[in-house]
Structure 1
Amino acid sequence: MAENSKSRVTADAAFLRTQTQSLTRNRVLSETETINQARDANTARLKALRLQKEEAERAAAASAPPKAKRKRTV
């Protein structure tokens, strides 16, 4: 009976180790996914702002009078 108890204790300890590792891995993966989603959202926001700025610059350049060209003297 003592051997049964010893093997049972060893098996329980191994199971708890495996369970702890699994829970830790899942927590890390969840945190990583959250960070990736936040980064992707920020990237999309910044891209939208950049495209809006570029469009405004193009519109301003199109509405501005063309620069007078200087004639070269020879």
Structure 2
Amino acid sequence: MTQTHRKSREKAEIAFANAQSQFFARNSAVEELDFIVLAREEKTRRLREARLAKELTDREAATVSLLAKRARTA
């Protein structure tokens, strides 16, 4: 009887350990994906800020150029 109890307990512990390791592996994968998503969002934000800053300087340069052109013709 003790042998049967011991074997069933060992099987249960092995099954639990397997389930637990799958759970931790899944959590690790989810954390890795979350990190990738956050890194992508940060890069997108930086690129958007850089694009908007460049568009603003281009717009300001075009305005200055037009004003200079008008001043010369006027």
**TM, length-normalised to structure 2:** 0.83
Q: Which ranges of structure 1 fall in alignment gaps of 5 or more residues?
A: 68-74
Which position in structure 2 is the counterpart of 1:72? none
Tell me the number of residue pairs that the alignment of Structure 1 and Structure 2 aligns. 67
**Worse-superposed segment, 26-35 or 45-54:** 26-35
Q: Which ranges of structure 2 fall in alignment gaps of 5 or more residues?
A: none
State the identity as a percent: 36
- Bigger share in helix: 2
What's the Cα RMSD here? 1.5
Counterpart CA distance in 1 for 2:29 and 2:10 is 29
Counterpart CA distance in 2 for 1:49 and 1:12 is 55
**TM, length-normalised to structure 1:** 0.83
